[in-house]
Structure 1
Amino acid sequence: MRVGGWAADAGLGVIFAAVLAFWAYRIADSWGGGYWGFDCAAGAVVCVIALARRFDPARAAAAGLAVAATAVLAARFADLPSEPGPGMALGLAVLVGTAVRALPVVTTCGVAAGGLAVATGSLLTAHTLAAGVPSVTAMNVLVWAAAVVAGLFPRLLDARRRAVAEGVRRAERLRLARELHDVVAHHVTGIVVQAQAARLVAHKSPGKAGDALAEIEAAGSDALAAMRRVVGLLRDPDEPAARAPGGPGGLDGLDELGELVGRFEAGGRAVRLRLPDEEETATWPPEVAGTVYRVVQESLTNISRHAPHSRSVTVSVERDRETLTVEVADDSSRGPSRHHQRGGYGLIGMRERVEALGGTLRAGPRPGAGWSVRATLPVPRSKALPERARR
């Protein structure tokens, strides 16, 4: 036990002794003789048990309640002053409050119910029932209620803190899971696509195999650098992380999305890219810009993995007043298992990113043929600027 705990128990022991002495004096003054002895002895036993509660709160509470119940029955049949007296009631309050604060729910309910039964049990030993609820009974019930509240309040605070902490940990795990998925899935998919292209080149034009291998090497280096950024963040969360694509400062003009699409086009697919003016993208909040980049990145990764026979892709980012719409669509043919294949962690991560900003995400087959991922994000109102188109 800490020094503060010993000091608190020492102060509590002094209070117990003062209350027991005061009540013994009152009994001796009103009842005379040695009637005070039983109350003082029984109350002292419960108070000592209360001081030892830290070693085993459940057993201490059970022992204290047993002693108090025995005292009530003894006072009833031996015609002694009402029990439990103030000293015993105070000791029981400490035991009940500790139980409510620290013990499991079932045990806590049992101790609290036992405390209430003992408090109301003083009606059996009351000598003035005709005048209404005896003052001793009212005092015992009030002390019991105060003990329950005193134990329940910090218990609820602890539960709320745990819930908040768990929510923060879960949000952080999901954030890291999204980042790892985005980094690993995108870069590894690029490496796989480049390796497949290298195999074809090696058969048809062996002299160009070196260029394909260089592309694989570059994709591997990018993957390694991205993984190092994420691992560095995990190892030292206080260290500022390198800016991720689409992070603070917008999208570096439109170059980052252009580079992303350019790497995808290197796989042999034509991409039509429609973007707002660079000056407008610079006004987007960092979290919006980052989400736009990740949605496009994950959508292109899914096309590489699940729609290898698609011939053209359209990437569109449009602004309409306070709504930003991001859509990535391909022209691949429908397959019976395509929806299942695209229901992995990538779509889950995209939906979490979009919904965290108050937006919506829809992914599914397009009318006729192809697949579309469409995200809408709320953005602050700004001056509308014309669109431009790229190929």
Structure 2
Amino acid sequence: MTATSAQSAWSSRFNRVSMRLLKAGIIGLLLLTLLAEMFSHGDNQKPPVHSWIAWVETAVSLFVIFVYYWYRPGRKRWIAAAAAASLAATLLDLIYDQGIRGVGTAELLALGLLMLFAVRHWDAAPGRWVAFATGTAVMLIGVARLYSNDLQSAAIGGTMLTAMAMTTVIGFGAYLRSLDKLRRETQEEVRRAERLELAREMHDFVAHHVTGMVVLAQAAQVTDTDPRKAFADIEGAGLAALASMRRMVTVLREEDSGGGVDPLGDLSQIEDLVERFSREGTDATCFISPELAGAVAPEIAATAHRVVREALTNVRKHARGASRVRVVVAAAGGKGLEVSVRDNGRPPKGRASGPLAQSGAGMGLVGLGERVDAVGGQLRAQPRPEGGWETAAWLPREIPESV
């Protein structure tokens, strides 16, 4: 693994640890704030620990803090539950005022953090009303805490500060939401560019088959070939061209295809691909069977190139300590070929073993599997018994008529 990839992996681990420590620090601060609230009191006042309402508010505060700690995208309903519990506890405090300062600062801060998630995941279930409910809970706590001291000016000022804090959280949440939207738009733009690239490459595939038809027609004119055989050959080349075009048009129409399409390559470009990979510090070698030269359909050659490129990308990203990579493109039987990429690296933690269907592979291998299946081939990605990882694909040399 190169110094750049090692530095990237270390940076990723550092960011994860930093975020966990930050969240743990926030949770600790909230719990300390809650504990201080329960036992602090002014002159001639009892601490909130003597009030049953304060205990209810403490339970709600702990629940809100718990929701913040365990929140992940897709758990927005828990934010709604936390907001509802907070509203109920605050209204209970306002109705049954016992003359004792309540508990709510830690709850207020935790709800503010949940407000950020509610705004960021604005359109997620159960709906946008969760953000409004959480904002109402934040405002109500701020007003209740400040009005309990009967200081009108302090209440107004505190209400304004609370509104400003909530506005800041909403703005930050909206900013994060805009980043998510920008990322989605960028992905769509990349997909659109890839589809346009495929449209440009369609000419090469169709031209290959049409050129074959022209050659067959010219040969029939200057030789004693049986006309029926010549017409049959021309018909077969024409059907192959139509099938090739049909497959490409199908891919172009798949707006939401997750596999993606990249600029096409061929068998001769695989050696260049491996050579560029070896320049980055890994011992990478390549062997391509000579008998495959000129005997593989352009679509199959492009798929083989894609298999090697995706496998080498995964080696660079996931194979820890890989120092040797072997790429082999060999004939397999009379009508097929096998592409294999093997490394001696160690898989990262969490990388499952087993075939591709159970490997937990990312979208790269998923899309690659779809592309291999589309031309009548089979893909497998699995650990090797002697160590390392293998990505291999069996491909036909020509596109089957049934595909």
- TM-score normalised by the chain length of structure 2: 0.46
- TM-score normalised by the chain length of structure 1: 0.47
